[in-house]
Structure 1
């Protein structure tokens, strides 16, 4: 598990972890050796000269004091290293998630990442701080005591040593029997988390349907499955706990019977047998705690394995010898792209000259938004090439490529910060005058004037405190402030009211001026502003030209456009 932890975090964390493990092991050995002094203490106490016990008592007290200091230092080291690892894991996970392709973030990833980034990381990194010391103590201290027994009386020590492989076998068997249950519980936990998020996001729909008072069946089912999986996982631990308890009790009974036999035969004194039994009793507590600590370690290991899987997910490769594009024209050359088993784009070729506007139209699922995502390299193509300024996007660093592109999507996400802070994401070092100019150009100033806090108004999580049109204006202002030469638009006004639509179109027009633009379009006003239009269906270009030409010479485009212009299609 430590190897997996260090693989996830990196080799720079290995030295402090190894030092902490060595310190905890030393502490456990000293604890076991301190118990060895009970033998001469009891031997002197029950012997003919009880006063001889004092030097041994002083030695025992000194050994206990050394153990206490070592335990304090090792626990403190564990907490410090655990805190360092926790910080390192959050940084590593955050950096890695930011580098993963957008296609990795499927519908189920929100719940998975939420669990891993909160409870999961705490569980995995808590191993060093809270679980490692008890586990090492539970394993090493009894072994040290067994060695002490062998040193004092080989027959009793050998009898105790027989129980060691039995305990190890029970722990191994318990771990294997619980593995399936732990995996199933983790899966159900992930599913339930996703359902909780879905339940919260579905509140408008549930309330509109008059279902606010009744339970959400999908959430109920997932919680019941989680409950059943947790019950099965808990029950699977009982055989191991029971077997460990019986083994420890059997070992103690064997030592008691053997010691009594040897004492009656005169081969060992009463004081020695009493000391050996005390040592055996001291073995029992840490051994019995192995079941509980081992179960917690297995859970942490399961979480760490999932973290390791995420961290080993390969991000899109960065070019070894990056090329800086000098122009801003765009090109798709024989591009093919598959998502899972489905072909989204097939053998598509097109070009957009610098400074011109391309409109992409077509039915839902035709691959329109995918074209924008391939340009921004949210995915890598399976065949062909996507070029910016004549350079394959795979030969451009992510930082340089993103600096060339401003993206405005239909669904705008804003951070729970002020309006100004959300706008400044486009260019954090922008001067105040540039921010005000972008706000005015996007007609966001009209929104700011209505708000009590002005530009310092907090927008809420995801921009929940603003309307859809207001969020779009923030997004456009952000793109204007970025001032990138290439603009990608995924129909940003299809669900806006007329007032906001006019304001957004005004901002979009300013954003597109003088730039290379690719826009997914659904409305006549948007398409008519384009220099070139392609009609996409099933990932292929089936017609292209300007809007008026296509409307008159291509019946498929004409039929699609007439259907999109019906009142029902515009509701």
Structure 2
């Protein structure tokens, strides 16, 4: 995926052209050295022309090399920018379940160093690689003018060197991949071993075995890495030694056969030395390139989203723009099912209900029944495995992630704040909103008192992740942000769980004032929140067991009625 992201564009083609021109210039100086040396040794009349051509090729080649180096850096920066762009695009389209701890860790690596390492790799490897491939080939072709036999030897050495280089890169890439996987396994085993120490010390079940196994795997991978490094290095060294034998031998053969003079033989030895120079870097370049490719291999795993996991728009066109109509539900679920990867059972199965525009629906049920998963599905954080979620009559796979985001506003139990000011965190709900509009949202979310109390008011920094605020304060900030957005559908997942009773009552009162302006779906446990809803859906085992108004469900005397009585008893219970 990343290699595809680095496909050639105009800048890459221009850089390649400059690099080829630089290789041609360096080869020209090497080949022109033969007639120049012969002319100087024999005092030939045309020597000055060769000298002028040699100097011109040297100057032009130096200028071209400088321009090629700059072009290579441009390519590196372009690849880094493309890398970040593709990464951000994939993150925006990936379902929530895709963000496992391992992938989040790799994402951090990619953002912190992936693009930089790609840029440096392209910038620093392109020129030496072109030198090793093209300059040597051009020199060998130029030698055909003076010693065809030696030229064939040089071409053969080019093929051998490049073959050894490819072998070195392949071996090192494979061993580095195994090393990285072993290191990851060791890290996970060690983290688990540390986390479970209290339980392990009580059970005394020899928990060190898993860590020991991971250590052995890492040691084996390290040994393989060392072996492949030695093998690759030795392959390049053997060919280099062979070159030092074959080139002088072929020159001697040409000299003894009379095909070349002694002066020409000496000049060809000089050219051969220039020919071998780029290969001296191959050993170092092999390790560098293998390291870069190993990084790409590791990071490519982040892009491997299972087929169908990313929500896409049918037809490839623009998202439909739903029109609110009184007879069209603001949101409707039809036979929705979902299961998390690696789990044998569905978290949600066959769920169907609808919420008219301006109505409030409470989703109620025991812990682990799939309520929060349902809200995440409605918010478009992940696509359902079965069924359809429609927004004002438009299916989720037609709207796409961006369309769903535009039509929903959500507050989840896990609160997300950025390390900026209160104002920036609230205004993120609707970029471009005025301070007065933010004030109104803050009033509804019971945040105004906090803003008035703080010395810097709206401009108070919240700290990284909102660390400068209490849990209830962070929750009020996210509520204000969701209310400011004014999306047609408001989704609240235990959105008042961290609020005190008085603050919660104020928020519910403000929410009641907005009734009729937007549909609201609330995952609730508190009795007053449940009672304020127009309709209630009781979820158990990932399926809808009962649905209706509060009076209807209590009169039914089923699972919801039993749940309601339990909550009443719990609310009435006090110490002493």
What range is the shorter-chain TM-score in?
0.7 to 0.9
1:372 and 2:364 matched:
no
Corresponding residue for 1:531? 534
Moved more, 300-309 or 88-97: 300-309
Aligned-residue Cα RMSD (Å) equals: 3.7
Question: Does the C-alpha gap of structure 1 residues 189 and 424 become closer, same or farther in structure 2, counting only changes over 3 Å?
Answer: farther
SS in 1 for 2:9: helix
SS in 1 for 2:225: helix
1:114 and 2:108 matched:
yes
Query: What does 1:366-515 align with in structure 2 at a 5 Å threshold?
Result: 366-396=369-399, 398-494=401-497, 496=498, 498=500, 502-511=502-511, 513-514=514-515, 515=518
Query: What does 1:195-234 align with in structure 2 at a 5 Å threshold?
Result: 229=221, 232-233=224-225
Distance across 2 between alignment mates of 1:285 and 1:231: 31
SS in 2 for 1:407: strand
Distance across 2 between alignment mates of 1:418 and 1:189: 39
The one-character-per-residue Cα deviations of 1:396-417 (angstroms, maximum 9, x if unpaired) are 3544433332211111111111
SS in 1 for 2:346: strand
1:324 and 2:322 matched:
yes
Question: Does the C-alpha gap of structure 1 residues 505 and 168 become closer, same or farther in structure 2, counting only changes over 3 Å?
Answer: farther
Question: Does the C-alpha gap of structure 1 residues 230 and 296 become closer, same or farther in structure 2, counting only changes over 3 Å?
Answer: farther
Corresponding residue for 1:19? 14
Moved more, 112-121 or 89-98: 89-98
Question: Does the C-alpha gap of structure 1 residues 230 and 16 become closer, same or farther in structure 2, counting only changes over 3 Å?
Answer: farther
Question: Does the C-alpha gap of structure 1 residues 125 and 562 become closer, same or farther in structure 2, counting only changes over 3 Å?
Answer: farther
Corresponding residue for 1:335? 336
The one-character-per-residue Cα deviations of 1:521-555 (angstroms, maximum 9, x if unpaired) are 22333323223333322211223345566567556
Structure 1 residue 31, shift from structure 2 partner: 0.5
Structure 1 residue 164, shift from structure 2 partner: 2.8
Corresponding residue for 1:214? none
1:98 and 2:92 matched:
yes
Query: What does 1:183-194 align with in structure 2 at a 5 Å threshold?
Result: 183-187=177-181
- Are the equivalent residues in 1 in contact too, given 2:322–2:391 (CA < 8 A)? no
1:43 and 2:41 matched:
no
The one-character-per-residue Cα deviations of 1:32-55 (angstroms, maximum 9, x if unpaired) are 2211122123323443x3897554
Corresponding residue for 1:210? none
Distance across 1 between alignment mates of 2:505 and 2:25: 76
Query: What does 1:56-205 align with in structure 2 at a 5 Å threshold?
Result: 56-187=50-181
- Are the equivalent residues in 2 in contact too, given 1:326–1:389 (CA < 8 A)? yes
Question: Does the C-alpha gap of structure 1 residues 559 and 273 become closer, same or farther in structure 2, counting only changes over 3 Å?
Answer: farther
Distance across 2 between alignment mates of 1:55 and 1:391: 78
Question: Does the C-alpha gap of structure 1 residues 537 and 317 become closer, same or farther in structure 2, counting only changes over 3 Å?
Answer: same
Question: Does the C-alpha gap of structure 1 residues 37 and 409 become closer, same or farther in structure 2, counting only changes over 3 Å?
Answer: same
Question: Does the C-alpha gap of structure 1 residues 478 and 187 become closer, same or farther in structure 2, counting only changes over 3 Å?
Answer: same
Question: Does the C-alpha gap of structure 1 residues 148 and 403 become closer, same or farther in structure 2, counting only changes over 3 Å?
Answer: closer
SS in 2 for 1:366: coil
Structure 1 residue 20, shift from structure 2 partner: 1.0
1:8 and 2:5 matched:
yes
Structure 1 residue 194, shift from structure 2 partner: 8.7
Distance across 2 between alignment mates of 1:98 and 1:221: 38
Structure 1 residue 475, shift from structure 2 partner: 0.7
Distance across 2 between alignment mates of 1:302 and 1:570: 61
Query: What does 1:267-346 align with in structure 2 at a 5 Å threshold?
Result: 267-304=259-296, 313=305, 315-319=310-314, 320=317, 322-327=320-325, 328-340=329-341, 341-346=344-349
Distance across 2 between alignment mates of 1:506 and 1:155: 94
- Are the equivalent residues in 2 in contact too, given 1:124–1:301 (CA < 8 A)? no
Question: Does the C-alpha gap of structure 1 residues 6 and 232 become closer, same or farther in structure 2, counting only changes over 3 Å?
Answer: closer
Moved more, 264-273 or 427-436: 264-273
Distance across 2 between alignment mates of 1:188 and 1:453: 50
- Are the equivalent residues in 2 in contact too, given 1:423–1:481 (CA < 8 A)? yes
Structure 1 residue 433, shift from structure 2 partner: 1.5
- Are the equivalent residues in 2 in contact too, given 1:419–1:455 (CA < 8 A)? yes
SS in 1 for 2:320: coil
The runs of 5 or more residues in structure 1 that have no matched partner are 207-216
SS in 2 for 1:355: coil
Structure 1 residue 302, shift from structure 2 partner: 4.2
Distance across 2 between alignment mates of 1:174 and 1:304: 17
Structure 1 residue 156, shift from structure 2 partner: 2.1
The runs of 5 or more residues in structure 2 that have no matched partner are 198-207
Q: TM-score, normalised by structure 2?
A: 0.84
Structure 1 residue 155, shift from structure 2 partner: 1.9
SS in 2 for 1:87: helix
SS in 1 for 2:339: strand
